[in-house]
Amino acid sequence: MIYMPGASIYKLHSEDYLMFALCKTKSGFSVACDPFTRIAKDDRGVDVVVNALKVSLNTDDTKRLPDPQNWKEFEQNFLQKCGLKTLQPLQKAGTLLVEIYREDNYLVFLPTKRGEDANFEHKDRAEAVKVLFTASNKEIMQALEETFSKCE
């Protein structure tokens, strides 16, 4: 079995980073889960970002959360944990999303693009950027920045 914890990192229009872990539900789809971290543009040092990313990836991929029964309540909880009032900052033009997974000893950064309905879609897996989990924080940050440059 491959251990594949995941996380999402948004680069908001303000250039703040918003990141959170991805956890599987009992029916198998991924949802945002703790920890939620927002890093202001002025505080985006390499070590701050990469250490927060590693914490986000430190989830038990074998654990399953209950499926949300009330999506409106789930969304309100999500917004509160993100420090947002609405989803608008995540949907704003110029906002980018990278999903990250730990596969064996690698971090795999997946760029996204905007779909027709303004939701994010994964780009071709061939565009993913891989780096060893044990790489330096600087190398991991470079992989993240390279992946953001591939987002549309």
CATH of 6-150 given 3.40.1590.10, 3.40.50.300, 3.90.420.10, 2.60.40.420: 3.40.1590.10
Report yes or no: 8 and 57 within 8 Å, Cβ to Cβ: no
pLDDT confidence tier of residue 2, bands split at 50, 70 and 90: very low
pTM value? 0.90
- pLDDT above 70: residue 42: yes
- Is a pLDDT exceeding 90 seen at residue 103? no
Rounded to whole angstroms, how far apart are CA atoms 131 and 108? 7
**Mean model confidence pLDDT for the chain:** 90
pLDDT, greater one: 56 or 115: 56
Mean pLDDT of 81-88: 93
Note the helical H segments in 15-136.
46-56, 71-82, 88-91
- Supply the pLDDT for residue 117: 75
